[in-house]
Amino acid sequence: MREKKRGALSEVLDYAGGYKVLTCLSFVLSGLSAVTGLMPFVYLWRIINEVLKTGQDIGKASNIIHYGWMAVWFSLITMLIYFAALMCSHLAAFRTASGMKKALLSHISLLPVGFADEMGSGKLRRVVLETTGSTETMLAHNLPDMIQAVVTPVCMIIMLFIYDWRFGVACLIPLFTAFACMMRMTGPRMEEDMKRYQDALEKMSNEAVEYVRGIPVVKTFGQTVFSFHRFKKAIDDYGKFCFSYTKNMRPSMTLFTVFINSAFAFLICLVLFLTGGSEASTDILTNFLFYVIFTPVIVTTMNRIMFMSENTMKLNDTLNRTKEIFDIKPLPEPERAVHPEGASVELSHVTYHYTKDAAPAVNDLTLKAEEDKIIALVGPSGSGKTTAAGLISRFFDAEKGSVRIGGADVRDMRKEELMNNVSYVFQDSRLLKRSIADNLKMAKPDATDDEIKEALSLARCDDIIDRLPDGIHTVLGSEGTYLSGGEQQRIAIARAILKKAPVVILDEATAFADPENEALVQKAFGELTKQSTVIMIAHRLSTVRNADRIYVMDKGRVEEEGTHDELLHNKGLYSRMWDEYNKAASWKVGVAV
């Protein structure tokens, strides 16, 4: 038997837990408030009817005060019931949005680190923060309004035909015409447009993050946003889509607005037709006044229905985007774990593509790092150095070949054991807005203050700690306490020293360091090499000249390997890179005299 597809609402409410009952209660209360909200119109009609029937002898209208108080009481009751409905819906909505975020973050924590790079940090941030947050608006506000938008028209149509069916028909003509215009805007076509709109926002968000990261380059070289072609194109594409979509929807929206607000005109035409230009009877005048007062409810209801359709599409889009993340499976864990013997690292005939259509990031790559030795990976940008390092840390799995640590394939090691064996220092290490000690305890939660201070001292961080107001317990970011890029790198290296992992990967660890910090970072590297196998990725060739072995990579392969002197003697790619590096290092700005 074919499984019935679940609706978007039922899927979202799975994250509400025990608070799902509050959502159901909010539905009931919202529907009840819709019914009671129409009662003041009933009593208003009775007041008008009694006033017109008594004419100038207003003293005979003995029920006016009673009807007036009943209208007031029903208005108050409606507000109280709707307030209770919103209280229930908000409590459920906050729990649902929180549950969805927790489920997403819990799933993301199980995914390989490489997945974030492939998806894009801007898109990932938007899904986790903004997209799931839209469910709160939907559940807290839109769903109660949706119930009212369903219950109100039913009661409204009944009321339209109770008093005078002719006036009811006159109100329904513009109502159905407006509804037809609305369906053109909120049908399947709009669902596709909504997806394109969200895609455009995600793309622009991704490119904006990259642009912000590149602001130092922009300011240094006096560039503008136009130099970031992808960001500029994302903005232009978003603008073109919004303009095109608005232009396409303009006729339908104009007709919708005209007809939804034209019920009064239809009522006047009907009165003129019924009276034939003569004086209107009391019953016709009473019903006319009632429907004139009642028609604003039609406008409000139709607008709610229109926005309800749009928000339902947003909810569906939210679920589709969160499913994209939930559908990404964590890397498989071995049934029987294999333990490494030693700290050697070996990549054998490894191939990996980031996407199916892209060229291989590494292609039949083979290299080896002996235990307690330093190897360096150098080469042009895009040669596969960082990809190779990511494969060792199992940020993603090789498509072909094997990656081994201590003779054990990383795919056969438990995640916790692999992380204990490998320490990774990124080129732009970020520290948490916590104390220095807390940042280091991420590597060793049970570390003592003495152990932390020793690791910081070995990483040449004494000058940093001495000027901080509370030493290792100073919270970064508080009271104007900030560290430079090079200082953050030294703290990150101290964390790696504290971890004492058998294998350490340094990915452009001196990229953002000034000369003074670079010298200190290099000394900190020396402490790491005493206790670990080190794999160093670098563009500054001066930092790798003392490596035990240098692998020169290009187009995902190893082009050359050897020591610094051997590679210079070969007069190959490394030799050319060394010459270019020395030319760049000796370059100076001339001053005109």
The pLDDT tens digits of the residues spanning 380-416 come to 888 888 889 889 988 888 889 999 999 899 999 888 8
pLDDT in the model for residue 349: 92
Alpha helices in 261-376, H assignment, sequence order = 263-275, 282-326
pLDDT in the model for residue 66: 86
- Domain limit, last residue, from 326, 359, 392: 326
Domain membership flag for residue 500: yes
pLDDT in the model for residue 591: 45
pLDDT band at 44 (very low <50, low <70, confident <90, very high): confident
| Segment among 84-93, 267-276, 312-321 with least mean pLDDT | 312-321
Q: What's the pLDDT tens digit per position in 422-455?
A: 888 877 677 888 888 998 898 888 889 899 998 8
- Domain limit, last residue, from 266, 297, 326: 326
pLDDT band at 121 (very low <50, low <70, confident <90, very high): low
Q: What domain count does the chain have?
A: 2
Query: Among 322, 382, 356, 392, which residue's Cα sits nearest to residue 533?
Result: 392
Q: Is the pLDDT of residue 593 over 50?
A: no
Q: What's the pLDDT tens digit per position in 458-483?
A: 888 888 888 888 888 888 876 667 78
3-class SS of residue 204: helix
Domain identity same for 358 and 293? no
Domain membership flag for residue 337: no
| Segment among 141-150, 300-309, 314-323, 557-566 with least mean pLDDT | 300-309
Q: Let me know: does 499 contact 471? Beta carbons within 8 Å.
A: no
pLDDT in the model for residue 589: 45
Q: What's the mean per-residue pLDDT of the chain?
A: 78
Q: If you ran DSSP here, which 8-state letter would residue 587 be given?
A: -
What element of type H or E holds 560?
Answer: strand 557-562
Q: Is the pLDDT of residue 147 over 60?
A: yes
Across the range 347-352, mean pLDDT stands at: 92
Domain identity same for 375 and 231? no
- Structural tokens at position 93: 């909505």
pLDDT in the model for residue 215: 63
Q: Let me know: does 209 contact 121? Beta carbons within 8 Å.
A: yes
Domain identity same for 349 and 231? no
Percent of the chain past pLDDT 70, that is, above it, reads 79
Q: Give residue 260's domain range.
A: 8-326
Query: Among 20, 24, 306, 360, which residue's Cα sits nearest to residue 184?
Result: 306
Q: Let me know: does 46 contact 71? Beta carbons within 8 Å.
A: no
pLDDT in the model for residue 526: 67
Domain identity same for 358 and 321? no
Domain identity same for 319 and 432? no
Dihedral angle over CA of 277, 278, 281, 284, nearest 10: 0
| CA 271/CA 268 separation, integer angstroms | 5
Q: Is the pLDDT of residue 3 over 60?
A: no
- Structural tokens at position 303: 């607008």
